[in-house]
Amino acid sequence: MSQNFPNFGKVAVLMGGYSAEREISLMSGQGVLQALISRSIDAHAFDPAERDISQLKTDGFERCFIALHGRFGEDGTVQGALELLGIPYTGSGVLASSLAIDKVMTKRVLLSEGLPTPRYVLLRRGRYSSADVEAAADTLGLPLIVKPAREGSSIGLTKVTAHADMALAVEKAAQLDADILCEQFIRGDEVTCPVLGTGSEAHALPVICIVAPDGNYDYQNKYFTNTTQYLVPCGLPQGEEAAIQALVLKAYRTLGCRGWARADVMIDKLTRQPFLLEVNTSPGMTGHSLVPMSARAAGLTYEDLCLEILKTAALEHARPAQAQTPGNTGAAA
């Protein structure tokens, strides 16, 4: 790849933050930071949990690489702050970020466009009864998945195989979110597919098939063990990979994503029907992460991947030519 990249100026790599995924974000951010520095980018770490985000402006940062995961980083809040500061940033804008982090809202949008996603029941903390919990299990059948609506990295997720375990699983998820998602379990292949680019230039990267111990792709097996297998090429039947890439790309555009993202999909073992689980708008960039793995299969090194993502940094809304100040509305007296 050519070394003549644009002058990005002073770049902040946003990492850490306040969410339950802080530890993973720090790992992602350090990886991105070192990759950018290795390509002579004037990049610096910036942790919004330790410094006021307004300091990005006062310290002269010209663009941000968002390596934050979860709330206060992947949910539209930081994106909104950067819009106000006028500092271009990587990844999706305010609306797409806030939609995608909410798994229930994501499902509603996908279903409205006829895109397949597992059946679900929504429970709200403090407003559900034991009968509601039992009804969710009866409606969806067992096994089923219970998880917080707005967490990532499988935090707070439980695969429930018996009615007796439902109450504890719901309580666990309710500790992390007011909205608890009970979701139909799809038995079959678990795959993921990243997307790079914006609009007509957006394109899907190779699909990865995930084979976790006992089918348990949890927080520990995602980041801290080497027992999970990642198959790329994915080894799916002929035509299935292309179909999944097309489905993921449609979901990406439906939610209004830009820059990059990664969608998780389950393929029903019997029917081979793919079901969209969620779209991650600020995916992991650790040594175990899937976007770099897929990009590598497409011939893109980790360092080049970081540069390609940084190139897409943008603001959703252009600043007006003359910013108006209080008392100067431009209207006639």
Rounded to whole angstroms, how far apart are CA atoms 94 and 74? 9
Exposure pattern of 237-261 as b/e (b: 16+ CB <10 Å)?
A: eeebbeebbebbbbbbbbbbbbbbb
Q: How many other C-beta atoms lie within 10 A of the C-beta of residue 218?
A: 17
- 104-112's contacts with Cβ under 8 Å and 24+ in sequence apart are 104/149, 104/179, 104/181, 106/255, 106/278, 106/279, 109/254, 109/255, 110/251, 110/254, 110/255, 110/276
Distance of CA 244 to the CA centre of its chain: 18
DSSP alpha helices (H): ranges in the chain? 22-38, 55-58, 77-85, 94-101, 103-112, 130-140, 166-174, 219-223, 240-254, 290-297, 302-311
- Residue positions annotated with a catalytic role: 21, 153, 223, 262, 264, 278, 280, 284
Could you tell me if residue 239 is left (phi over 0), alpha (psi between -120 and 50 degrees) or otherwise beta?
left
